[in-house]
Amino acid sequence: MSMTAEHTVLNNKSLVCVTGEVDVSNADELRCALSEAAHAGTEAVEVDLSNVSYIDSTGIGVLVGAAHRAADANVDFAVLHPQRNVERVLAMLGVSEELGVRA
């Protein structure tokens, strides 16, 4: 499956824009982008999932791990604009609040 994760900094927020399908084959790429964002010295890390059509448990685990590391560093963390099917999976797993999901 194909995925891209691009990190930018804007207004003291790290934004990671993810595109494609997130699964075990590319979760390390997402993990690296989130780590880069976390080490940018910003007040917040936001992950835009508006262009993600699928995410598996490995990808969700990467997001949860990043959210925990952000909380430990007193950095705000949020997942933005997940597609309906992705949002539903996050809700079913009970991680929406933990990830700061914003539609």
* CA gap 35, 93 in Å, rounded: 23
pLDDT of residue 103: 85
* CA gap 8, 53 in Å, rounded: 21
Q: pTM of the full predicted structure?
A: 0.95
Contacts of 19 (CB under 8 A, 6+ apart): 3, 4, 5, 51, 52
At CA 69, angle to CA 4 and CA 49, rounded to 5? 30
* CA gap 20, 2 in Å, rounded: 6
Mind listing the domains of the chain with CATH numbers?
Answer: 3-92 (3.30.750.24)
Averaged confidence pLDDT in the chain: 96
Smallest Cα–Cα separation from 49: which of 17, 25, 77? 17
pLDDT beyond 80 at 1: no
